[in-house]
Structure 1
Amino acid sequence: MKKVLFGLAFAVALPLFAQQKPVYLDAAKPIEERVEDALKRLTIEEKVAMLHAQSKFSSPGVPRLGIPEFWMTDGPHGIRPEVLWDEWDQAGWTNDSCVAFPALTCLAATWSPEMSMLYGKNIGEEARYRNKAVLLGPGVNIYRTPLNGRNFEYMGEDPYLASRMVVPYVQGVQQNGVAACVKHYALNNQEVNRHTTNVIVDDRALYEIYLPAFKAAVQEGKAWSIMGAYNLYKGQHACHNQYLLNDILKGEWGFDGVVVSDWGGTHDTDQSITNGLDMEFGSWTDGLASGSSNAYDNYYLAAPYLERLRSGKVGTKELDDKVRRILRLAFRTTMDMNRPFGSILSPEHYEAARRIGEEGIVLLQNKGAVLPIDLNKAKKIAVIGENAVKMMTVGGGSSSLKVQRELSPLDGIRN
């Protein structure tokens, strides 16, 4: 029977087991058997540690058992440059440039599942090359106001179109052994007072407009992770919301992946324990904003949870469910022995970005057949507006990219 060392390659992992019996697993066994095998080997302290961040974009594994760390990266249209351990500032690497793919509003405008699969496959390869376990995208919130500064990250205002486009994107990313993290679940459709807004919507609108793309991503795309939203719904924050996470996502839809909080989207330990959150990131508690090195131990799902477990205030049922999901994510990503190596900044990726961008161009009118421009008749072309020369990939908060090359619209027209 073929045996493999649990987690890492033998040569790498052997020192971890110098003081204990090595842990072996049959690589041919189903993931669920391997999850249960790993679960019973973990201490309560190790389980709780897996539930929360250890840096801005990573959470710990279990070195004792060879379970690697989880590293996340922002998307959804390029791999974010590396940041410092405790801060949002760039780390200053010289090898973390990426290809800037068209914004998802452009991808949706292609009306092409083929382009969406191409997009997911290529951006997934770049995430894998940078050794990321989770790509924080795609976004599928429905446009409801042009003032939403994150509309460009989403797949439009039509729930059916978004549902058809998100599935191949998720599948394309995950064929690289990188989890797609579909966001922001749910009802994060505008950005004003997003941390405090309690969204009021009836069930028909919820199910017909705001949930279809998420449902398709889960049930058809088989997404391995979902990111909660900042806003409240039914008086509970979406990152620990009984109705959205337990009743609908994990109950009705049978989601078997990991629910990840948006950065700073967690607000309560008890609700986080019971209401469906699995991994907590970006909570600004007890000094994290000023870079306290041990602030991660004070996250809502860290020391406060551990204290409740040790005192008997809560049981281990919810804990084990969270850890099972995280272990399942590990076996699908960092511990998948057949995981491809990925690639970055390749000619194929630039060609894919060009094709998707071209397919996303929509001509609304062409009165008098002005286009294509007859260069024998047109002596000059006027290009008006700052965006003709502005470099756009460096803005947008979590969508900020460090690209190897960027071509402005004016340069493109001149070329």
Structure 2
Amino acid sequence: MKLKSIVLGLSLIALPALAQTPVYLDVNKPIEERVEDALSRMTVQEKVAMTHAQSKFSSAGVPRLGIPENWMSDGPHGIRAEVLWDEWYGANWTNDSCIAFPALTALAATWNPDMSALYGKSIGEEARYRNKNVLLGPGVNIYRTPLNGRNFEYMGEDPYLASVLVVPYIREVQKNGVAACVKHYALNNQEIHRGYINVKVDDRALHEIYLPAFKAAVQQGGAWAIMGAYNQYKGEHCCHNQYLLNDILKRDWGFDGVVVSDWGGVHDTKQSIFNGLDMEFGSWTNGLNWGASNAYDNYYLAMPYLQLIREGAVGTSELDDKVRRILRLVFRTNMAKERHFGSFGTEAHALAGRKIAQEGIVLLQNNRNLLPIDVRQTKRILVVGENAVKHMTIGGGSSSLKVKYEVSPLEGIRARVGSSAEVIYAPGYASPAVAEQDVKGAKAEQKEIDPVALRNQAVEAAREADVVLFIGGLNKNDGQDSEGNDRASLSLPYEQDALIAQLAAANPNTAVVILSGNAVAMPWVREVPAIVEAWYSGTEAGHALASILFGDVNPSGKLPFTFPARLEDNSAHALGEYPGDSINVSYNESIFVGYRWADKQKKARPLFPFGHGLSYTTFAYGKPIADKKTLLPGETITFTLPVKNTGTREGQEIVQLYISDKKSSLPRPVKELKGFSKVHLAPGQEKTVTFTIDKEALSFFDDTKHEWVAEPGKFEALIGASATDIKGVVLFELKE
């Protein structure tokens, strides 16, 4: 109530000087009328002030008119702790500890739009309660290389999967009166040289691979904000890029929201004025030796912009367009007719995060049915690995969170097992300590690490255990899964590979749990019976993992990206253009990203393919049929097939539809994902799964015509359990 009163109080200040209530204050009026009314009452100085930051995470309103400030918050996985006005460091509030939700790779692994909607609703409520009107997320950059340090913030390698999942997230966030700011637009696929690398990519790959999720966010999700990327495209920084922002985003897609710069992503005043940027954040200035009392006056869209207007060097039409968009944002969010108060740090949000994590955890391998563990027949469980106790909500860059609580895997396992069995812990390996990034002057507590001693201790304990649960992977340290840097290799860090091999030799009942946002190499894959990918699962990580390991929940997640056996099996590395020469990076693989590239390789099979994920039950696919043999423009074609749970446990299966163009004028992938359905089945239950597609699903981007084209000819609908596990094929034809 207090924050609401402040806003109303500011509004009332303006009223005595006005003949009647301004239109912009009338929430019953159409937003566009309100925008034009407010714009007509603003001075040039007030307009310019709205286009740039006034603190690390806020921009100015118009106090004279009762128009409130805009407050942004990282990030896509939880609402970041409050920071000091002018610094990145935490403000040490005592009431800003949030619920951490699973990383977006975990959400993508659910393959479930309902989970995306639950995620958006929950995080939107948290943002609203903290009075943030812009949430800096979600991220939808495509997984091009498994070395990208920021892949854990994105939704995988396939543009269709990312497009389907981003839409409900956005819609549910924005129902709370909070704008979703979709990032990082566009081609931000590596952290090395990210601030200036110029991406060279052909038009087909741009439109078929890297833009569809952003387009869906705008045209289907109705996103109110887009964040520009750090990198360059066509020799212009993406935060002020004529082609990406003005031509594609605003003209072609009809985007009516605001373009927000990434923090420090702005480099030039005139380009910012003319090339599509609306709000500037994070530009470097210390406010001291530049001769301004307010450091933010030195931003590119601050005094330099105002000075150009005063000199007559630029007009104000571009300024008015920026401010219209910002006012539209304000009236959609913190001056909306209906804006609930939200909720923060609640049990409901924690349980929502747990449910999302449970649906996203992927059972990669389960030989001898080692999992789930039956505690009635197990006396001693050995848990090995630093990741079993390390907090994963801290670190990683801008997604680092200050959480209300975090259940570690070890805590979750012990809580689940109770007194039914003895749970022993051995670290097995250790990573270097790092300082908390949001604490000013924080220093890492130095520790001596003897990897051989740690490994030997764990291996000896493994000989005496009934089951060994190794919990390792990556960990959000610099050079692992973290903003600002990429991984050095596909291998697990901190000598984990040697440890896993020795544990497996000491105890054949060894299950490996990987916590990561990236694929990892597994030289020990044939030596361990069970492997689980558990991602970064947030506040309830330990409980979610334990529910899968002990069979309380049947795993139903599937991989949103390919796990290559070797780094050279990834197209960005096979074709030798990563990370570029520090000036340019060429995407020589074009449209052949992820499984599209793997399908072309006759010898190198993936370690685990896109769409792969096992269950504790079994499913039988019936023969798919189509409702017609030919498709005419303007028509749809529907494929149906029965899917039956043939096992003894209830479970969920993700049925995937791929389309293959048998002959085309331009090279096309062997197949492309064009539909999926997550179906829940009780033991013995059978359901019919239906997919309906139209001509658009058969199209490719013709870069010579610069348009989407569906060429008449023969196609195949391939329905399967993964990109390599095809259960049925239906041939059909597109007619003129």
Match of 1:50 in 2: 50
* Higher helix proportion: 1
Contact 2:258 2:326 in 1 (8 A): yes
Distance 2:22 2:66 in 1: 11
| 1:65 equivalenced with 2:45 (yes/no) | no
Contact 2:287 2:298 in 1 (8 A): no
* Secondary structure, aligned partner of 1:182: strand
* Secondary structure, aligned partner of 1:239: helix
Contact 2:167 2:221 in 1 (8 A): yes
Q: CA deviation at 1:17?
A: 4.5
- CA distance 1:289–1:351, change in 2 (3 Å): farther
Match of 1:203 in 2: 203
Map of 1:16-415 to 2, 5 A cutoff?
16-17=14-15, 23-25=21-23, 26-285=26-285, 287=287, 294-415=294-415
Q: CA deviation at 1:289?
A: 11
Distance 2:218 2:36 in 1: 23
Distance 1:284 1:258 in 2: 21
Match of 2:450 in 1: none
Distance 1:10 1:37 in 2: 18
Alpha-carbon RMSD across the aligned residues, in angstroms, is: 1.9
AA aligned to 1:301 is L
Distance 2:7 2:402 in 1: 32
AA aligned to 2:95 is N
Q: CA deviation at 1:273?
A: 0.4
Listed one character per residue, the Cα deviations across residues 69-92 of structure 1 (whole Å, up to 9, x for unaligned) are: 000000101000000000011001
Contact 1:8 1:66 in 2 (8 A): no
Distance 1:82 1:159 in 2: 34
Q: CA deviation at 1:157?
A: 1.2
Q: TM-score, normalised by structure 2?
A: 0.54
Higher relative contact order (CA 8 A, sep 6+): 1
- CA distance 1:288–1:301, change in 2 (3 Å): farther
Distance 1:288 1:91 in 2: 22
- CA distance 1:286–1:404, change in 2 (3 Å): closer
Distance 1:266 1:31 in 2: 29
- Where structure 2 has 5 or more consecutive residues not aligned to the other structure, the ranges are 416-736
Q: TM-score, normalised by structure 1?
A: 0.95
Contact 1:138 1:183 in 2 (8 A): yes
Distance 2:318 2:288 in 1: 26
Listed one character per residue, the Cα deviations across residues 90-123 of structure 1 (whole Å, up to 9, x for unaligned) are: 0010010100011110000000000000000000
* Secondary structure, aligned partner of 2:162: helix
Deviates more, 1:272-281 or 1:348-357: 348-357
Distance 2:278 2:57 in 1: 15
Contact 1:8 1:67 in 2 (8 A): no
- CA distance 1:172–1:288, change in 2 (3 Å): farther
- CA distance 1:173–1:289, change in 2 (3 Å): farther
AA aligned to 1:383 is V
Match of 1:14 in 2: 12
Distance 1:370 1:20 in 2: 75
Contact 2:22 2:37 in 1 (8 A): no
Distance 1:91 1:17 in 2: 35
Q: CA deviation at 1:379?
A: 3.0
AA aligned to 1:219 is Q
Contact 2:176 2:340 in 1 (8 A): yes
AA aligned to 1:88 is W
Count of residues in correspondence between the two structures: 409
AA aligned to 2:238 is A
* Higher strand proportion: 2
Match of 1:3 in 2: none
Deviates more, 1:358-367 or 1:65-74: 358-367
Distance 1:357 1:288 in 2: 47
